[in-house]
Structure 1
Amino acid sequence: MATSIKPVVLCGGSGTRLWPLSTPSHPKQFLNLLGDATMLEVTLGRVLKSPFSNLTFGRPMVIGSERHGELITGLAGKADILLEPTGKNSAAPVAAAALAAEADELVLILPADHDIADVDAFHKAIAAGAEAAADGSVVTFGIIAASPATGYGYIEASDKSGHVIDVVRFVEKPDLETAKSYVASGNFFWNAGIFLFRAGDMLEAFRAHAPDILEAVSAAMPSGENGAAPTFDAAAFDACRSESIDYAIIEHHNALKVVPVDMGWSDIGDFLALWERSPKDENGNVLIGDVRAIDCRNCYIRASDTSISVAGRVGTVIVAAGGETLVCDMETVQSVKALARK
């Protein structure tokens, strides 16, 4: 008998580390960063069907910002849509996803702006975690760490191997030496923010660990469509505190499992990650738009609304979009978020 999964895509992120490509009015999940389709469209495409006979996907839901309602409506296809009048981090939309599903329905939470190269491995991991989720566990998916990255949170598992492993703890972004020890141990995995659970079990977790969030979201749930994409009641939703699902629920919950998976995952969190995933020329350059480059190596150069001419650069990011121009070294791409705030 096939297991049916309800995919819920969260697309409320701002993507400021990819400024000026990604802006508050048009963040990265609505951009064609790695091809002809937007990140949101690609994410939804991964959960249309599965190559495995024991796994099927139901009608997806997309939860995002009301200010992006027109973008979401235009890109989400036949998905159900739920819009937030203000951003409240990830706990509130996860609570809404559980409330919108049947109690015994399996719900898969997905960020809208991640890249997954091996979709079959992704589906295989979902199928492996579905049984544990049906038995009452909240299942997360641990990315097998390719390097001691300090930009990700980590999941410590009780063992180094297995299809579905008990979670010991979640760890915030570590320093480099700590990250090296995690990777060397073999039982720490990157936290990709992908969760699978039975809706009723997640509601019980909210009642135990964050009842105020569940109460506020329940009061804010829309009662009718009124001919447009349903939106949370603004006054009721405003009373909900802003909190991540990790802090609100996951770090306090006991029945947690992790499925280790090597699926070519990236959160496309900055220009270095975007350069790594993009097709390159013979000199390692990613050149997009009206760009002329001479004697350049390992650069990401993208012109969206002008032309760019560059000579003699190595490991440099140059992006022109929306009347803004960014220039930085690959080693300093983490500074882009601060530049975006300025």
Structure 2
Amino acid sequence: MDVYAVIMAGGAGTRLWPLSTKEKPKQVHKLVGENTLFQDAVRRVKSLVGLDNIFIVAGAGHVPELKLQEPDIPNENFIVEPSGMGTAPCIGLAAIHLESLDPKSVMIVLTADHHIGDVGSFREALLTAIEVAEKGYLVTLGIKPNEPSTGYGYIEHGHILDTEWEHDVLNVKRFTEKPDFENAARMVKSGKYSWNSGMFIWRVDRILEEFRDQMPGLSEQLGKISKAIGSHNYKKVLEESWKYVPKETIDYGIMENASNVAVIPVDIGWSDLGSWSSLMEILTADENGNVIRGNHIGVDTQNSLVYGGERIIATIGIKDLVIVDTGEALLVCNLNHDQKVREIVNRLRESNN
């Protein structure tokens, strides 16, 4: 049975503004090491499926940069979304392209903007997930929580499905929206929950079956697009059908009410890099707890993230700050308020900046 990896490479990553923008989102930046987040995502699955079986879904404006970063991925493996409509249409679009190759193939769905520290354990978990998916389950990798985070959705574990696999594989009782702190603490203490990573593994025919049952409107448009794949009018049909595609996440649109859903809890050093503070947790700090990228001179500077370029950033007597200078914009915020960066982005949009 063929196995394909689909990497969702859209999204603006607004919480990492001003570095991450609509034109150049966080996945095309070298945030953690020598590679961009997108390149790391490709390298993590290349040894499992091969470059020919890696498909990328992104907006037309991002595809040229992504092709430059991974030139060995075949051109035809880049699937263009006319506009970002959430993960459900994105995954559905990829699924119909894979259906045209092999409807019984296994589809690994990943994102281009996450960090995974333990790549070996990640690959081992994927191998188990592929085996489970071959039996008809919709599989997700659940992240073992290390704190009562209110920034992620949670997955409640049910009973163990089978003991034949290398990892624990449990059925999913329910998906829970992002909780308040009290409920998050309760769930983490119980040991019966994982964070929702947004990584999925399933057979192509199974996920398309769920689209037909749960999102018939989207399924109808996907059917029209599917018939045009490989034809001269594919782009026209895609753009016309996309006008009627609902904006929805795969979690709400499919997973919450799907049948035969399994979770594999994993500890793989995962982060969605959804804030400057989460990036700071991954990068190495100096003796004063500071994470520095760029040209910085500091006096009495503690527990701060300074991210710049060639221009000197000088700090005196500061603590718990995020300072990001891109040349086009400067961000200064309290480390504990970095989730509010999205509010700045929204205000900039309202003022057309």
TM-score bin (small chain): over 0.9
Report the equivalent of 1:100: 97
Report the equivalent of 1:241: 246
Greater shift, 212-221 or 234-243, is seen at 212-221
Query: Shift of the alpha carbon at 1:224?
Result: 4.0
Report the equivalent of 1:66: 60
Report the equivalent of 1:219: 224
Cα distance in 2 for partners of 1:193, 1:78 equals: 26
Cα distance in 1 for partners of 2:168, 2:153 equals: 21
Which one-letter code corresponds to 1:44 in the other structure?
Answer: V
Judge conservation of contact 2:15–2:342 (CA < 8 Å) in 1.
Answer: yes
Judge conservation of contact 2:290–2:301 (CA < 8 Å) in 1.
Answer: yes
Judge conservation of contact 2:306–2:324 (CA < 8 Å) in 1.
Answer: yes
Query: Shift of the alpha carbon at 1:78?
Result: 2.9
Report the equivalent of 1:251: 256
Identity of matched residues, %: 34
Cα distance in 2 for partners of 1:30, 1:305 equals: 20
Report the equivalent of 2:351: none
Query: Shift of the alpha carbon at 1:232?
Result: 7.2
Judge conservation of contact 2:187–2:193 (CA < 8 Å) in 1.
Answer: yes
Judge conservation of contact 2:141–2:265 (CA < 8 Å) in 1.
Answer: yes
TM-score, normalised with respect to structure 1:
0.92
Distance 1:34 1:138, change over 3 A: same
Which one-letter code corresponds to 1:38 in the other structure?
Answer: T
Judge conservation of contact 1:62–1:76 (CA < 8 Å) in 2.
Answer: no
1:186-232 superposed Cα distances (whole Å, 9 cap, x missing partner): 01000000000000011111111012112213323563498xx9797
Query: Shift of the alpha carbon at 1:305?
Result: 6.0
Query: Shift of the alpha carbon at 1:69?
Result: 2.1
Report the equivalent of 1:115: 115
Which ranges of 4 or more aligned residues in structure 1 deviate by more than 6 Å? Answer: 229-232
Cα distance in 1 for partners of 2:281, 2:237 equals: 38
Which one-letter code corresponds to 2:94 in the other structure?
Answer: A
Report the equivalent of 2:4: 6
Number of aligned residue pairs: 334
Judge conservation of contact 1:7–1:58 (CA < 8 Å) in 2.
Answer: no
Distance 1:283 1:159, change over 3 A: farther
Cα distance in 1 for partners of 2:139, 2:244 equals: 29
Cα distance in 1 for partners of 2:307, 2:299 equals: 15
TM-score, normalised with respect to structure 2:
0.90
Higher helix share: 2
Cα distance in 2 for partners of 1:340, 1:140 equals: 31
Cα distance in 1 for partners of 2:292, 2:231 equals: 44
Which one-letter code corresponds to 1:96 in the other structure?
Answer: L
SS of residue matched to 1:32: coil
Cα distance in 2 for partners of 1:186, 1:150 equals: 16
**Unmatched tracts of structure 2, length 5 or more:** 162-166, 348-353
Query: Shift of the alpha carbon at 1:123?
Result: 1.0
